[in-house]
Amino acid sequence: MVGEHFMTGDHACAEGGLAAGCSFFAGYPITPSTEIAERMSERLPQVGGVFIQMEDEIASMNTILGAAWGGWKTMTCTSGPGFSLMMENLGLGLVLETPAVLVNIQRGGPSTGLPTLVGQADMMQARWGSHGDYEVIALCPSSPQELFDLTVRAFNLAEEYRMPVLVMGDESVGHMSEKVVIPPADKLKVVPRNYTKKKPGEYWPYEFGKDEVPEMVKAGDGYRIHVTGLTHDKRGYPIIDAPTQDWMVRHLKNKIIKNRHKIIDVEETNLEDAEVCVVSYGISARVSHRAMELARDAGIKCGMLRLVTAWPFCEEKIRELAQRVKAFVVVEINFGQMSLEVERCACCKCPTYLVPHAGGDIHDPEKVFEAIREAVK
């Protein structure tokens, strides 16, 4: 598939997984992510991989975790209520520290909602959808090309930090057809699994160094492995007490918090002299870019911050901007999710204006422009 192609975002996502080394996919069809699964069902057998259609999304998420411990690079995809069903086993994957990729092509909700139409209202669920304390990594593509690129990056981050990583697309980007460039394998950065060099008897599955990321082994290679969703020590054995809970949870958080500057990615446009900053992501960022141009044409010094990484959130960047802009305008297809993070990090230094949308279609750039104009009055 190397070369230039005209393809949908969903197909580009599947090709990104293959380029990153995905060899196992388990999923259940659900609009508007089904085309990812369909593409993988065709393409994985061509490269020696395995595709399994599971009975539901709960089993799909569980299966990719098990396959990862068998040595596979694994992936699943979902939308709408399927994302909710995957939340329990997302938490399991986080506490087991299992590398995998979960792609959510968002649609309008809640419940069954708008199966074929766009939404962006799963962003807080991505961060807080499972229970307990943990950190997540979530990437937000704005084009089919980025669905390819960020799926590759999601696999790399999953390996670098030994955890499930989320790709938070949306229906418009998933079903959009554009040019997608797939580079040769030697031009792509693909992170291999960090397998231990220790001998059996010397290795513990949750022993880590300064980077807070433990090495891995494959089941069947002669190592003693015990993994559990219970609070556990470095051996993986259940230890049900407060000190072990503190050690484990601090580790799950620190491996992301300490490395957040290497993970966080944003795109800045016209922020050097900006009086108002538009913050957006996914398909809404493309609309917002046009609104920013309209504002500039009207003499308003408007810039834009696009969230390529939603989680971890770019707190330092928002705090820095809040010291010098008059207002933030947040554009997202929901009634306020990432806008709450912007408002929190602005710390009352400047106001945050939300341009809400219930879903089903995208914002009108003129309405976003009107919000920008109101914000600088």
Residue-wise pLDDT tens digits, 260-284? 999 999 999 999 999 999 999 999 9
pLDDT at residue 285 above 90? yes
Instruction: Please check whether residue 204 lies inside any domain of the structure.
Output: no
Instruction: Please check whether residue 249 lies inside any domain of the structure.
Output: no
pLDDT for the residue numbered 222: 94
Instruction: Give me the mean pLDDT over the 339-354 stretch.
Output: 97
Both structure tokens of 75: 């992936």
- Residue 320's domain comprises 267-375
pLDDT > 70 in the chain, percent: 100
Instruction: Please check whether residue 60 lies inside any domain of the structure.
Output: yes
30 and 126 in a single domain? The answer is yes
Residue-wise pLDDT tens digits, 94-141? 999 999 999 999 999 999 999 999 999 999 999 999 999 999 999 999
Instruction: Please check whether residue 30 lies inside any domain of the structure.
Output: yes
Cβ of 115: how many Cβ atoms within 10 Å? 15
Instruction: Give me the mean pLDDT over the 2-16 stretch.
Output: 98
The domain boundary residue, chosen from 129, 154, 187 = 187
Residue-wise pLDDT tens digits, 11-55? 999 999 999 999 999 999 999 999 999 999 999 999 999 999 999
The domain boundary residue, chosen from 142, 157, 187 = 187
> Phi/psi at 305 (nearest 5 deg)?
-120, 110
pLDDT for the residue numbered 377: 85
Contact by Cβ (8 Å): 117, 107: yes
- DSSP character string of 236-275: S-B--SHHHHHHHHHHHHHHHHTTHHHH--EEEES-SS-S
Beta strands in the chain (DSSP E): 3-8, 24-27, 50-53, 74-78, 100-108, 114-118, 138-139, 164-170, 177-182, 266-269, 276-280, 302-307, 309-311, 327-331, 352-355
Query: In whole angstroms, how large is the CA radius of gyration of the chain?
Result: 21
pLDDT for the residue numbered 14: 98
Cβ of 1: how many Cβ atoms within 10 Å? 15
pLDDT at residue 323 above 90? yes
pLDDT at residue 76 above 90? yes
Residue-wise pLDDT tens digits, 168-217? 999 999 999 999 999 999 999 999 999 999 999 999 999 999 899 999 99
Contact residues for 106 (Cβ-Cβ < 8 A; gap 6+): 79, 80, 118, 119, 120, 121, 122, 168, 169, 170, 171, 282
pLDDT for the residue numbered 118: 98
What is the rounded distance in angstroms from the CA atom of residue 16 to the CA atom of residue 39? Answer: 11
Instruction: Please check whether residue 274 lies inside any domain of the structure.
Output: yes
22 and 140 in a single domain? The answer is yes
What is the rounded distance in angstroms from the CA atom of residue 64 to the CA atom of residue 66? Answer: 5
The domain boundary residue, chosen from 141, 166, 187 = 187
Domain count of the chain? 2
pLDDT > 90 in the chain, percent: 99
AA letter at 289: H
Instruction: Please check whether residue 226 lies inside any domain of the structure.
Output: no
**62: closest CA among 24, 88, 38, 99?**
88
> Phi/psi at 178 (nearest 5 deg)?
-150, 175
Contact residues for 4 (Cβ-Cβ < 8 A; gap 6+): 179, 180, 181
CATH number for 318: 3.40.50.920
**347: closest CA among 308, 376, 375, 319?**
319
Instruction: Give me the mean pLDDT over the 277-302 stretch.
Output: 98
Q: How confident is the model at residue 328 (pLDDT cuts 50, 70, 90)?
A: very high
Whether a cis peptide bond, with omega within 30° of 0, leads into 32 is yes
Task: Give the chain's mean pLDDT.
Answer: 97
Instruction: Give me the mean pLDDT over the 306-319 stretch.
Output: 98
Residue-wise pLDDT tens digits, 237-250? 999 999 999 999 99
- DSSP character string of 66-135: HHHHTT--EEEEE-THHHHHTHHHHHHHHHHT--EEEEEEEEE-STT-EEEEE--TTHHHHHHSSSSS--
Write the CA distances from 227 to 1, 83, 182, 206, integer angstroms. Answer: 37, 24, 37, 9
CATH number for 114: 3.40.50.970
Sign of CA dihedral 289, 139, 179, 119: negative
Instruction: Please check whether residue 183 lies inside any domain of the structure.
Output: yes
- Model confidence, pTM: 0.97
162 and 27 in a single domain? The answer is yes
Instruction: Give me the mean pLDDT over the 223-232 stretch.
Output: 95
Instruction: Please check whether residue 368 lies inside any domain of the structure.
Output: yes
169 and 271 in a single domain? The answer is no
